[in-house]
Chain A
């Protein structure tokens, strides 16, 4: 059961990255390669607030949320908005990711920094397996976010407008949707979420300049397994990647864990090319 918990905790982190990818993808069909880097910045801001400045947890949460939201907003204005073609946006967001990696290293250095968790840091036993409280919180956050954002996407006007932009940008414009503002808003929201989540991801992963790269690939695989644009897919995909990775490392050796993850990915894509929860039909909005 300990291996199950460790796999689920890893999967929860991948899910949180994949949720960020999805928010931007659903709203503008843009894949933000820098999403994992935004979360990495969140962990660094959390470290600075909690350890260096010794600020109260709520102040740190707000600071991390706002700081990364602004960063994501800048990314949208500088790296996404001027480039209309989604393929080219892959390149510019990748450039943003590289810039953020370099900047974090310049500001916070290259050594791993410990982000304290506001709860207990001691392992606990749950259902016969050992895990950390922060890992349980990460799992809960992943599930809550998927459910909450799913409802926002289908039950609110803003959510429906975002889906509309995703399906047909020009049609949405003709229906009076402020496409520019909403695209910026979705980007900023994904950044705000990444910043806030840094407070919870940091205690699991450390704040370290290599974190973005480590999370980006697995987050992408989680998204591909679950299906681009599907929030439940992100959850299932993330947890699948985490569990496959852990069990493959235990049973086959870690040199096979990445291979096992990609075998699962390819198998799923062969059976369902759009991913487990991906849709091949256009949505009715």
Chain B
């Protein structure tokens, strides 16, 4: 009898929960254009390696942006409510957290993925199925394809865009016989191929692309192989400790050639700290320039970027470079789209507005000076003028080149 009554209690509880869930969904509808504008941000805050510090910067950027947008009246009049979840850089955790948020009856209006492309791959189908507008900083092969994911926009430029910008820089410098060394990460592999294609597209001869295992402690063999092929300039993809191993291996080979680091290199703290903490000022970085968005480089006259930095530092220290502060631009873009559509509750209408260049030009973005989403592509495509090639220097508030650093 006791068992039966327990079963009955459980059944009642389940029914009650189900009804609560239904009422939650109803509340969701009622919230449209009325309640808070819910933003779910995932990041690998407790992730391994350099991932954690960069995730913290991403989350800080989202929070600072929400604060600024709320001060200016919110998204279509709705105050932004940010929920941050730590996915530890793990796609399974990110998916679980996203599903929990959707099932909670408080479905997010906007999803910001602050993690690597593996998380983008895992979360995009769920977001599409639930018609949730999203921005991500870890582009994948099809994340910018509106036919597949009409409600997703890539804030970060993809490997191909980055590679093309670097290839144009290399051509401008007159370098020939250029080699590429890249990690075995998902991004590294795509970047390696994209870089070779881009060099070919610019008519620069390539000596090949060498991959290294991201868990390896030495890259001498890969570099020796490129050196043997007559490489005269080297494009480098390395993030965290592997960058240190790569620079050490270059010194071991006594190989002094121009090094062009991609944004992964610019996102590694080793290059911004003088010895003994880092490698800044050592011969290892003497030939290095890094590809970075202009917001990662200090400019006293750039009001938008300086306001972004002030807003972020007002909420906490910026723990890494600004290269992963992309999230700062997501809300201004949505605000501009909501102003165009007159509503913030229809993700499809907002996405359509974001394909309008007038809307994009009117958005008060700071991380990137411009975005060029279109009906054919949701890639950010900021253009060459949005980038700089900078030598390593100490960081101040996540930026290179600040004389006060």
Which of A's residues lie within 8 Å of B, judged by CB? 2-3, 6, 9-10, 13, 50-51, 101-102, 105, 109-116, 123, 130-132, 204-206, 208-211, 213-214, 217, 245-250, 253-255, 257-258
C-alpha spacing A133/B46, complex, angstroms: 36
| A to B contact number (C-beta, < 8 Å) | 126
Q: Is the CB of B217 within 8 A of A111?
A: no
For residue A35, give the distance in angstroms from its CB to the closest CB of chain B: 17
Q: B405 interface residue, CB < 8 Å from A? A: no
Q: A110-B49, A123-B254, A206-B270 given. 13 additional CB < 8 A pairs? A: A3-B224, A6-B218, A6-B252, A10-B218, A102-B46, A110-B47, A111-B53, A123-B252, A130-B252, A130-B254, A208-B240, A246-B220, A254-B213
Return the contact of B275 from the options A2, A114, A213 (Cβ within 8 A): A114
Q: B331 interface residue, CB < 8 Å from A? A: no
C-beta contact mask, B42-61 vs A, less than 8 Å → 1, else 0? Answer: 00001111111100000000
| CB neighbours of B210 from chain A (8 A) | 253-254
CB pairs A–B below 8 angstroms (14 shown): A6-B220, A109-B52, A110-B51, A111-B270, A208-B240, A209-B48, A249-B216, A249-B222, A249-B225, A253-B211, A254-B211, A254-B213, A257-B216, A258-B213
- Chain A residue, CB-CB nearest to B215: A214
Main secondary structure of the interface of A (DSSP, over half): helix
- Chain B residue, CB-CB nearest to A101: B48
Return the contact of B49 from the options A113, A116, A210, A255 (Cβ within 8 A): A210
Q: Is the CB of B215 within 8 A of A210?
A: yes
Q: Is the CB of B217 within 8 A of A112?
A: no
Return the contact of B218 from the options A9, A123, A255 (Cβ within 8 A): A9
Q: B241 interface residue, CB < 8 Å from A? A: yes
| CB neighbours of A131 from chain B (8 A) | 252
Which of B151-159, B194-202, B276-284, B353-361 faces chain A? B276-284
Which of B's residues lie within 8 Å of A, judged by CB? 46-53, 184, 210-213, 215-218, 220-222, 224-225, 240-241, 244-245, 248-249, 251-254, 268-270, 275-279, 320
| CB neighbours of B49 from chain A (8 A) | 110-112, 208-210
C-alpha spacing A101/B48, complex, angstroms: 9
- Chain B residue, CB-CB nearest to A50: B276
Q: Is the CB of A113 within 8 A of B277?
A: yes
Q: Is the CB of B50 within 8 A of A111?
A: yes
Return the contact of B276 from the options A105, A110, A116, A248 (Cβ within 8 A): A116
C-alpha spacing A257/B269, complex, angstroms: 28
Q: Is the CB of B269 within 8 A of A2?
A: no
| CB neighbours of A112 from chain B (8 A) | 49-50, 240-241, 244, 268-270
Q: Is the CB of A114 within 8 A of B278?
A: yes
| CB neighbours of B268 from chain A (8 A) | 111-112
For residue A210, give the distance in angstroms from its CB to the closest CB of chain B: 5
| CB neighbours of B47 from chain A (8 A) | 110
| CB neighbours of A217 from chain B (8 A) | 215
- Chain B residue, CB-CB nearest to A247: B221
C-alpha spacing A123/B253, complex, angstroms: 9
- Chain B residue, CB-CB nearest to A114: B276
| CB neighbours of B240 from chain A (8 A) | 111-112, 208, 210
| CB neighbours of B213 from chain A (8 A) | 254, 257-258
| CB neighbours of B220 from chain A (8 A) | 2-3, 6, 246
Return the contact of B225 from the options A6, A101, A110, A250 (Cβ within 8 A): A250
C-alpha spacing A112/B253, complex, angstroms: 22
Return the contact of B253 from the options A130, A206, A245 (Cβ within 8 A): A130
| CB neighbours of A130 from chain B (8 A) | 252-254
Q: Is the CB of B241 within 8 A of A254?
A: no
Q: Is the CB of B253 within 8 A of A254?
A: no
